[in-house]
Amino acid sequence: MAGFGLEQWVSYLGLERVDDPDKDHPVYRKRLDGKIIDLRQLDLLVAQRLRELRTDRQLAQAKVAMLLGVKEATYARYENASSLMTVGRLLHVFEVLNITPEEFFDPLVNEQPSHSKAASREALRDQLMEETADHLKKLDDTTLKMVHDLVLAMEPRTIEKQKGNGAAKAAP
Q: Does any domain span residue 58?
A: yes
Do 152 and 131 fall into the same domain?
A: yes
The Cα–Cα gap between 160 and 129 comes to 21
Q: Does any domain span residue 56?
A: yes
Split into its structural domains, the chain has a count of 3
Do 83 and 126 fall into the same domain?
A: no
In the prediction, which pLDDT does 127 show? 74
- Per the model's pLDDT, the better-predicted residue between 83 and 22 turns out to be 83
In the prediction, which pLDDT does 89 show? 96
The CATH number of whichever domain residue 68 belongs to comes to: 1.10.260.40
pLDDT-based confidence at 169, cuts 50/70/90?
Answer: very low
Residue 166 has pLDDT above 50, yes or no: no
Q: Does any domain span residue 17?
A: yes
Start-end of H helices in the chain: 6-13, 39-56, 61-68, 72-79, 87-97, 101-109, 114-137, 141-163
Do 26 and 47 fall into the same domain?
A: no
Do 61 and 87 fall into the same domain?
A: yes
Do 25 and 51 fall into the same domain?
A: no
In the prediction, which pLDDT does 157 show? 57
Q: State the DSSP code for 23.
A: -
In the prediction, which pLDDT does 162 show? 47
Do 22 and 70 fall into the same domain?
A: no
